[in-house]
Chains A and B, each alone.
Chain A
């Protein structure tokens, strides 16, 4: 390709230099947490420095590689600490949120997409506006409703109900959009063949919407799995903590069990990171589609 004189491109080695520096910054905290997890110690420092450290000692103290790599932190966080229980709590809550969220979002999304009824527009708009409610405002009444009125404080049921309603608006809008793209002819044909309305919904529409349902499911799961503040507020009892609250328990306040935290953080993050990479193209398009559309 012929280049004009004025069009000087930046040399590639410079671009690589910038990219390497930024990548190091991006990866360093992750390497840091891995190092602590595999160090077998609870300490926050990567190495124990002598009283009068030399420059080489100090350099060693920031290199993210453990002195004696071992997995004792992983073993003891699962066996000696109640972390396994917190993981199970978190998983139950996240899975129940997923199941309930899909059920509610599919039915509501289908109705919003297929039927024209009084209140449709108001319903859709109210779902959208509800995304603007500050969490703290609803947190106080939710605390009163769930803990004082319904007696669901420190229960998984309470948390599942709250998470589901948190996730519903996004899921409904997303599924509605997808249902809109499924041609109505199919359903009309089935109707002529004598299929009932529930059959059409279950046998024809839902199978066609599988990709969107998968994304909805993952979104619901991540909502339940990653949520921190509601769980920290509603779950008072230590044995009912979810994984995020448990991780904070290791290093919050006066507790300094960084080894347990690091090992736990890695266990919690692996499914999330895996899902994330699988999902990211949907996430990006889902988040910005509303704005880009003319």
Chain B
């Protein structure tokens, strides 16, 4: 008999674990968000400086330019702790100006870029390409300001210089690293962990051994502490964001105050736009700080929310998890699980390695694939969380709700839409049925012939006829692809012997289908032959003997004896070869390649092409789920059907 621990103790342990988990994770979330804000702060300030300097450069390279070196020197001199900067002009591959310590003496600007400075030129070219790409696509796809960590821990930034709507070069600068120490307060977190546990100890005496009361008490304490900690997080994040925006506004004021003087000193025209300096990496102004450096409270609220709300949502998720842990431990689920694990320790030790592999590389990918099928994930969005690109059932609606299988062309001819799901499904069914029919009929016929008693050379025929099955099927596919070659393939040579014209096999859907059918027929009949032969040989000769004595004809014998004895072997073989053919990826993928125009794709190759040629991961995943459901239905139906035949 196992001694049962008191209820109160279980809930105490449950609350301690759940509370530690919840507050620990919440602390980590808060710390992560603060770290992000801190590193965003460096970048935001640097971008403000970069944009301010870039604007000054753009203004002073206006007609009557005086050279940029004085501008950069003036900028560095008037604004203390300004980072070193360079101006690169792509035309003529020139270093137009530089305040980097290494660009002095012989290497002083302006000069042509040296060979080892090619990365700078490449960066300028990259930025120009980025701006042009975004402009031609009318979208913000490529970042127009490059930011990277320097080896010393600072930031290296570069922004394009535009003149009359065209990118002519770039401004580049390197900041030094700034040390940060922004841990959230650990003592506060510890307090929020300890308080509910301590309160539970005090109050559980009142609750006694009543299970539900204890559970309620623990849950209330846990949720209460977590809610308070969430409020605390918001306060911290709010002050962080206020600090960040204040710093950015301060920097903008400093630059805006200094620039007119600097521009006047190098006799460039005035006219700066400080409100555009605080921008994202696509050079879109964030619109928080206005031209005079003031901050609007309303937009600041929005900024704070966008920082705090995701954290709050995540903490809410953590809370649900913690409640689950609490009830699992508190109601004795954990104790029960632990007892089971101990009791069957040996079995679980044996099973764990294989199960682990299956979970990580089969079951999890499957579930993840199903999740992807509800998003519009593409190759560009694999790093985004799935919730951000969630589209619900859109993919399924697109796949299953598209009935445009054909349309009339201008000349009245029927044009099929081969990318339509139902066309591909129809083709897959035709493909499966014709292949299995060919396989079974050829295989059965050969088996009947080979089973003829007294036939000479039977073992030789048998070995030679099995050969096609033994060759790896991707090699078979490539061989047949070669034999169907329009100009040099032997099949067209044979047609020409008989006076025919060479056929372009892969230009018409039907002839293309024939090539795949020939290939698959060739490699699949030996399986059916071997199965049938095995079944035929297991029929005792006496049965035929008896039938003959009764006066049965050969046809009657075939119908009454041969076919029924073939059935138990042939039916499973047909079932399995239906699945094989339905999923016969290699033959279609390598022989017809879906030509012409995807008309000979089967479902599985079509899904592959959506994923790995069009990179529509979400759509391809939904397509695959549909295939899985079709197979599942087939599996269930055939399971019932075979049971029915067995019952007879």
CB distance from A120 to the nearest CB of B (A): 8
User: Which segment of B25-33, B73-81, B203-211, B565-573 sits at the interface?
Assistant: B565-573
**Using a Cβ cutoff of 8 Å, how many contacts connect chains A and B?**
265
User: Which segment of B119-127, B241-249, B279-287, B471-479 sits at the interface?
Assistant: B471-479
Chain B residues within an 8 Å CB radius of A288: 531, 569, 572-573, 576
CB distance from A141 to the nearest CB of B (A): 4
B152 within 8 A of A: no
Bitwise interface map of A from 89 to 113 toward B, beta carbon under 8 Å scored 1, else 0? 0000000000000011101101110
Provide the bound-state CA to CA distance between A229 and B575, in Å. Answer: 24
Chain B residues within an 8 Å CB radius of A103: 353
Q: Are A26 and B467 in touch, CB under 8 angstroms?
A: yes
B361 within 8 A of A: yes
Q: Are B472 and A133 in touch, CB under 8 angstroms?
A: no
Chain A residues within an 8 Å CB radius of B473: 226
Within 8 A of B (CB), among A6-59: 6-10, 12, 15-16, 18-19, 22-23, 25-27, 29-30, 32-33, 36, 43-46, 55, 58-59
Chain B residues within an 8 Å CB radius of A226: 472-474
For residue A115, which residue of chain B has the nearest CB?
A: B347
Q: Are A4 and B363 in touch, CB under 8 angstroms?
A: no
* Interface residue SS majority, chain A: helix
Q: Are B472 and A269 in touch, CB under 8 angstroms?
A: yes
Q: Are A107 and B353 in touch, CB under 8 angstroms?
A: yes
Chain A residues within an 8 Å CB radius of B475: 33, 247, 265, 268-269
Q: Are A228 and B586 in touch, CB under 8 angstroms?
A: yes
Q: Are B611 and A140 in touch, CB under 8 angstroms?
A: yes
A117 within 8 A of B: yes
Chain B residues within an 8 Å CB radius of A165: 357-358, 360-362
CB distance from A287 to the nearest CB of B (A): 6
CB distance from B229 to the nearest CB of A (A): 30
User: Given the interface contacts A58-B497, A244-B474, A288-B573, does A108 sit within 8 Å of B353 by beta carbon?
Assistant: yes
Q: Are A32 and B490 in touch, CB under 8 angstroms?
A: yes
Bitwise interface map of A from 251 to 283 toward B, beta carbon under 8 Å scored 1, else 0? 100000010010001001100110011001000
Q: Are A265 and B478 in touch, CB under 8 angstroms?
A: yes
Chain A residues within an 8 Å CB radius of B470: 269, 272-273, 276-277
* Interface residue SS majority, chain B: helix
Provide the bound-state CA to CA distance between A62 and B494, in Å. Answer: 7
CB distance from A121 to the nearest CB of B (A): 13
For residue A2, which residue of chain B has the nearest CB?
A: B548
For residue A8, which residue of chain B has the nearest CB?
A: B554
A233 within 8 A of B: yes
Q: Are A136 and B604 in touch, CB under 8 angstroms?
A: yes
Q: Are A115 and B344 in touch, CB under 8 angstroms?
A: yes
Chain B residues within an 8 Å CB radius of A130: 358, 362-363, 366
Provide the bound-state CA to CA distance between A169 and B363, in Å. Answer: 12
Chain B residues within an 8 Å CB radius of A142: 361, 365
Chain B residues within an 8 Å CB radius of A30: 467-468, 471
Q: Are A140 and B585 in touch, CB under 8 angstroms?
A: no
Instruction: Select which of B348, B449, B621 is within 8 A of A19 by beta carbon.
Output: B449
Provide the bound-state CA to CA distance between A164 and B548, in Å. Answer: 53
A202 within 8 A of B: no
Instruction: Select which of A10, A18, A172, A284 is within 8 A of B534 by beta carbon.
Output: A284
Interface size on B, residues (CB 8 A): 103
For residue B465, which residue of chain A has the nearest CB?
A: A26
User: Given the interface contacts A33-B479, A228-B586, A251-B478, does A138 sit within 8 Å of B366 by beta carbon?
Assistant: yes
Provide the bound-state CA to CA distance between A261 and B475, in Å. Answer: 9
A162 within 8 A of B: yes
Instruction: Select which of B471, B576, B608 is within 8 A of A287 by beta carbon.
Output: B576
Provide the bound-state CA to CA distance between A144 and B372, in Å. Answer: 11
CB distance from A133 to the nearest CB of B (A): 5
Instruction: Select which of B344, B478, B494, B628 is within 8 A of A133 by beta carbon.
Output: B628
CB distance from B498 to the nearest CB of A (A): 9
For residue B549, which residue of chain A has the nearest CB?
A: A4
Q: Are A258 and B482 in touch, CB under 8 angstroms?
A: yes
A148 within 8 A of B: yes
B192 within 8 A of A: no
Q: Are A248 and B590 in touch, CB under 8 angstroms?
A: yes
Q: Are B467 and A108 in touch, CB under 8 angstroms?
A: no
A135 within 8 A of B: yes
Q: Are B572 and A292 in touch, CB under 8 angstroms?
A: yes
A77 within 8 A of B: no
A213 within 8 A of B: no
B9 within 8 A of A: no
Q: Are A144 and B474 in touch, CB under 8 angstroms?
A: no
Q: Are B351 and A244 in touch, CB under 8 angstroms?
A: no
Bitwise interface map of B from 166 to 186 toward A, beta carbon under 8 Å scored 1, else 0? 000000000000000000000
Provide the bound-state CA to CA distance between A165 and B225, in Å. Answer: 44
Of the candidates A139, A162, A244, the one having the most CB atoms from chain B within 10 angstroms of its own CB is: A139
Instruction: Select which of A12, A127, A138, A268 is within 8 A of B452 by beta carbon.
Output: A12
Of the candidates B370, B461, B551, B635, the one having the most CB atoms from chain A within 10 angstroms of its own CB is: B461
User: Given the interface contacts A15-B455, A161-B361, does A248 sit within 8 Å of B474 by beta carbon?
Assistant: yes
Q: Are B476 and A29 in touch, CB under 8 angstroms?
A: yes
Provide the bound-state CA to CA distance between A133 and B370, in Å. Answer: 11
Instruction: Select which of B355, B372, B554, B568 is within 8 A of A140 by beta carbon.
Output: B372
Chain A residues within an 8 Å CB radius of B236: none
B324 within 8 A of A: no
Q: Are B362 and A273 in touch, CB under 8 angstroms?
A: no
Q: Are A115 and B628 in touch, CB under 8 angstroms?
A: no
Within 8 A of A (CB), among B415-465: 442, 445-446, 449-450, 452, 454-457, 461, 463-465
Provide the bound-state CA to CA distance between A16 and B457, in Å. Answer: 9
B380 within 8 A of A: no
Q: Are A115 and B346 in touch, CB under 8 angstroms?
A: yes
Chain B residues within an 8 Å CB radius of A43: 488
Chain B residues within an 8 Å CB radius of A32: 479, 482-483, 490
Q: Are B372 and A117 in touch, CB under 8 angstroms?
A: no
User: Given the interface contacts A136-B608, A244-B474, A280-B530, does A107 sit within 8 Å of B362 by beta carbon?
Assistant: no
A134 within 8 A of B: yes
User: Given the interface contacts A32-B490, A248-B590, does A118 sit within 8 Å of B344 by beta carbon?
Assistant: yes
Instruction: Select which of A15, A140, A168, A248 is within 8 A of B478 by beta carbon.
Output: A248
Provide the bound-state CA to CA distance between A32 and B468, in Å. Answer: 13
Bitwise interface map of B from 530 to 541 toward A, beta carbon under 8 Å scored 1, else 0? 110010000000
Q: Are B482 and A44 in touch, CB under 8 angstroms?
A: yes
29 contacts between A and B (CB under 8 A): A4-B548, A12-B456, A15-B449, A19-B461, A25-B522, A26-B467, A33-B475, A62-B493, A107-B353, A107-B354, A108-B351, A108-B355, A111-B351, A112-B351, A126-B358, A134-B583, A136-B620, A137-B621, A137-B625, A137-B628, A165-B362, A228-B586, A229-B589, A268-B472, A277-B470, A284-B534, A291-B571, A291-B575, A291-B576
Other CB < 8 Å A-B pairs besides A140-B611, A161-B361, 14 of them?
A: A6-B554, A12-B452, A29-B476, A30-B467, A45-B488, A58-B496, A104-B354, A130-B363, A134-B583, A134-B607, A140-B372, A148-B383, A251-B481, A265-B478
- Chain A to chain B: the 7 pairs with minimum beta-carbon distance, closest first: A291-B572, A137-B624, A115-B347, A111-B350, A108-B354, A141-B365, A117-B344
Residues of A within 8 A of B (CB): 4, 6-10, 12, 15-16, 18-19, 22-23, 25-27, 29-30, 32-33, 36, 43-46, 55, 58-59, 61-62, 103-105, 107-108, 110-112, 114-115, 117-118, 120, 123, 126-127, 130, 132-142, 144-145, 148, 161-162, 164-165, 168-169, 172, 197, 226, 228-229, 233, 244, 247-248, 251, 258, 261, 265, 268-269, 272-273, 276-277, 280, 284, 287-288, 290-292, 294
